[in-house]
Amino acid sequence: MLEIAVLISGRGSNLQALIDACADEEFPARIVRVISNKADAYGLERAKKAGIPTTVISHQDYDNKEAFEDAIDQELNACNVKMICLAGFMRILDARFVNRWKDRIINIHPSLLPSFKGLHTHERALESGVRFTGCTVHIVRPEMDDGPIILQAAVAVNPDETADELAGRILEYEHIIYPEALRLMASGKARVAGDKVIIESATYPDGGWINPLPGGDIDL
């Protein structure tokens, strides 16, 4: 059983997806702590409801980023955390912290990386005219929204929809691929090999993760 911490800044719907997955005793990970850099993050309520201890570590309480990240690091070590899941954690972690936790931090981003790193991904996807966008779960490296990809889900863009509508459709996939990516990493079925993540070939009969929702957007 892999002890994980989830770092959040807000709503926490991906945290909820991870909480729900961990409720299954067969699932190979347990959330031992939820850390938020914002005291009013709704995700903290979700954690409390699930009986998971929470800690607020506000970046505003520290003189600099190093001190803020050292406080997070100390808390993680005190809780015996083995892997960190970023779930809407809106602070960029420094190389020093990321390297300390090398290959043990995973993140979800609402685009098909390496496209649309950063903020306003859905608006930018609509503006750029791409036909597909989606979401990515990846291992965190020091560059923002960069690192070996564990899973992705693709969603066809409807040019007439709003950014909020597109975001909502992608979020459904986020809630599927994040727990699945964590399951793969925690069970050892996926492992980092240089700049890629290798998934055991027997994991998916078709050799790869194509589209997680039955009847989803892509019909191959």
- Catalytic residue IDs: 109
For residue 203, how many other CB atoms are within 10 A of its CB? 15
**Whose Cβ is closer to ligand GAR: residue 12's or residue 104's?**
12
100: CB partners within 8 A, 6+ apart: 73
Give least dist CB 46 to ligand GAR, A.
9
Smallest distance, ligand GAR to C-beta of residue 158, A: 18
Q: Report the run of H or E that residue 108 belongs to, with start and end.
A: strand 105-109
Q: Say which DSSP state 94 is in.
A: P
Sort 101 into a burial class: Cβ within 10 Å, 0-12 / 13-18 / 19+. Answer: middle
Strands 149-156 and 132-139: antiparallel
Of all helices (H) and strands (E), which one includes residue 16?
A: helix 13-22
Q: Which residues are near ligand GAR by CB under 6 A?
A: 10-14, 87-88, 108-110, 145, 171, 174
Contacts of 130 (CB under 8 A, 6+ apart): 115, 157
The position carrying tokens 């850390």 is 35
Residue closer to ligand GAR by CB (options 145, 180) is 145
Shortest Å, Cβ 3 to ligand GAR? 21
**Closer CB to ligand GAR, 53 or 168, in the complex:** 168
> Given the complex with ligand GAR, which of 49 and 203 has the nearer CB atom?
49
- Neighbouring C-beta atoms of residue 55, cutoff 10 Å: 17
- Least Cβ distance, residue 174 to ligand GAR (angstroms): 5
Place of tokens 């597109």: 166
